[in-house]
């Protein structure tokens, strides 16, 4: 009996012949080059699927000097568990992972190491073609690290505030408009003495923009944020709890709290309840982020929603443009207010968007 001959593996030459294009065009399509028009790209990709052609990632990386991998570097945040990941970033992490898969890239996830040369390792060692940065701590300290990345020619994009003259490219939320929406909602319910829990300085520019937005809303009705009602807090429940306790010790009258994040808001709610204050009957509370826990709080938390799904997609799309040396720009996503019972209403829906 004559043994069956093993079917030859398809090559890029086979694809070129079947698709009616040059081998160079096939190579450009398979490495994601933007120089191929959409119709040709679809035809080549269809033939590649038909022939069950698989890209040799190792050989491709040697030719293009690209690894086919992106690195996602998280900032370690204080958390009650061992994850050290802010829950706000978890849904964004899922979106980033899916966007990488759709674009044929692997994703390497790690923590940022601010004490050494973490920023120099990834591209130089071919671990990753570029970096996605989530979280930053004290921005006044962090921006020097970003400047180093720019000077070294590292391709990176970060989630964060969009600031004049900032190093690198950012995808962020319209924090000012989000703060304005929170302020306008509280004002519409009759509140004027609005406390703010969270930093309001250049060290935490996203929180500062939220504070400024709420202040702008108050100025619209002839009022203003009272500096005595602002307490610094990092984004954690413990910090929110401590900030609310400090606010109460100041014995300054307030009828609402705008927390710079949901985690701060949840900690503040616990502190206020322990002191016999009812939410929302005595104090209305608004958070920021719309993390999953917000809807299950008691009472459910009114908050400002940031579209983490779209954010993750844009972070990957923008970084891949940088890798392909295409022009990129900062992108600011709109904020949307989600009204729940912590302000005295139980609408549970998106109310207004920026």
| Span(s) in the chain for CATH 3.40.50.2300 | 69-173+308-333, 175-306+336-353
| Span(s) in the chain for CATH 1.10.260.40 | 12-55
Q: Which pLDDT score is estimated for 113?
A: 62
Q: Which pLDDT score is estimated for 273?
A: 96
Rounded Cα distance, 22 and 12, in Å: 9
Q: Which pLDDT score is estimated for 67?
A: 63
Six-digit token pair at 138?
Answer: 């004290």
Q: Tens-digit pLDDT profile for the chain (354 aa)? A: 444 444 567 787 888 889 988 877 887 777 666 567 778 888 988 998 888 876 655 444 434 456 688 989 888 766 555 556 788 888 899 999 999 999 888 898 887 764 455 555 554 444 788 899 998 888 888 888 888 888 778 889 999 999 998 999 999 999 999 999 999 999 999 999 999 999 999 999 999 999 999 999 999 999 999 999 999 999 999 999 999 999 999 999 999 999 999 999 999 999 999 999 999 999 999 999 999 999 999 999 999 999 999 999 999 999 999 998 899 999 999 999 999 999 975 444 444 433
Q: Are the C-beta atoms of residues 236 and 79 closer than 8 Å to each other?
A: yes
Domain covering 69-173+308-333 assigned CATH 3.20.20.70 in the classification: no
* CATH class of domain segment(s) 175-306+336-353: alpha beta
Q: Which pLDDT score is estimated for 136?
A: 84
Q: 3-state SS of the chain?
A: CCCCCCCCCCCHHHHHHHHCCCHHHHHHHHCCCCCCCHHHHHHHHHHHHHCCCCCCHHHHHHHHCCCCEEEEEECCCCCCCCCCCCCHHHHHHHHHHHHHHHCCCEEEEEECCCCCCHHHHHHHCCCCCCEEEECCCCHHHHHHHHHHHHHCCCCEEEECCCCCCCCCEEEEECHHHHHHHHHHHHHHCCCCCEEEECCCCCCCHHHHHHHHHHHHHHHCCCCCCCHHHEECCCCCHHHHHHHHHHHHHCCCCCCEEEECCHHHHHHHHHHHHHCCCCCCCCCEEECCECCHHHHHCCCCCEEEECCHHHHHHHHHHHHHHHHCCCCCCCEEECCEEEECHHHCCCCCEEEEEC
Domain covering 12-55 assigned CATH 1.10.260.40 in the classification: yes
139-182 confidence digits (pLDDT tens): 888 888 888 888 778 889 999 999 998 999 999 999 999 999 99
**Percent of the chain predicted with pLDDT > 70:** 83
């Amino acid at each position: 009996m004559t043994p069956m001959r093993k079917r030859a593996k398809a090559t890029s030459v086979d694809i070129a012949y079947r698709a009616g294009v040059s081998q160079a065009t096939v190579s450009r399509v398979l490495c994601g080059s933007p120089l191929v028009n959409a119709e040709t790209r679809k035809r080549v990709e269809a033939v590649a699927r038909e022939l069950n052609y698989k890209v040799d990632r190792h050989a491709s990386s040697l030719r293009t000097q690209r690894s086919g991998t992106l690195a996602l570097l998280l900032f370690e945040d204080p958390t009650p568990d061992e994850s050290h990941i802010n829950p706000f970033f978890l849904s964004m992490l899922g979106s980033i992972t899916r966007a990488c898969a759709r674009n044929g890239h692997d994703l390497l996830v790690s923590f940022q190491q601010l004490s050494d040369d973490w920023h120099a390792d990834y591209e130089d060692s071919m671990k990753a073609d570029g970096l996605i940065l989530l979280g930053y701590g004290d921005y006044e300290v962090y921006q020097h690290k970003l400047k180093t990345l720019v000077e070294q020619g590292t391709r990176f994009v970060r989630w964060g505030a969009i600031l004049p003259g900032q190093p690198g490219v950012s995808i962020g939320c319209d924090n000012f408009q989000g703060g304005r929406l929170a302020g306008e909602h509280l004002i519409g319910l009759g509140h004027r003495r609005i406390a703010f829990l969270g930093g309001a300085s250049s060290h935490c520019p996203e929180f500062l923009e939220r504070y400024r937005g709420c202040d702008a809303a108050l100025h619209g009705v002839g009022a203003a944020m009272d500096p005595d009602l602002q307490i610094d807090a990092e984004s954690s429940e413990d910090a929110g709890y401590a900030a609310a306790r400090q606010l109460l010790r100041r014995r300054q009258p307030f009828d609402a709290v705008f927390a710079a994040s949901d985690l701060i808001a949840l900690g503040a709610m616990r502190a206020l309840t322990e002191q016999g204050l009812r939410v929302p009957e005595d104090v209305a509370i608004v958070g920021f982020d719309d993390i999953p826990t917000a809807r299950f709080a008691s009472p459910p938390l009114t908050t400002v929603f940031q579209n983490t799904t779209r954010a993750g997609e844009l972070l990957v799309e923008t970084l891949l443009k940088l890798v392909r040396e295409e022009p990129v720009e900062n992108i600011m996503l709109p904020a949307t207010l989600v009204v729940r019972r912590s302000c005295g209403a139980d609408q549970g829906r998106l109310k207004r968007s920026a």
